Amino acid sequence: HLDGAIEAAGGQVVAKASARIATIASYRMPGVASSAQLIQLDLAGIAVSAGSACSSGSLKPSHVLAAMGWSETEAAEAIRVSFGPDTTRAGVYRFIEAWRRIAERP
């Protein structure tokens, strides 16, 4: 459901065709820097990251995405979302709505 909502809002699911860990996802919002997404999501009370897990706290584009053949611009538009045992369905829907609002901004 989350991947479909991201794509419906014009986003891209990173490594969609690959086997992925269910608790970590990465999404790209074309045309919107990950730093802008982080700020807007933080203002909405949602904590996400830019970059790979091993560079948590960094705003540098993910070296993992670069290794996958993504351009620096594409990698700089991606965020990493983590889900844990306390993540609720309501929390996921809140993320989707906040992300959609960012994507719809001119």
| Cα distances (angstroms) measured from residue 90 to each of 1, 28, 69, 94, 99 | 13, 22, 34, 6, 14
Cross-strand bridge partners of residue 26: 80
Q: How far apart are CA 29 and CA 31, in angstroms?
A: 6
Q: Sign of torsion, CA 40 41 42 44? A: positive
Catalytic-labelled residue, pool 1, 54, 69, 88: 54
Active site residue 28: no
Catalytic residues: 54
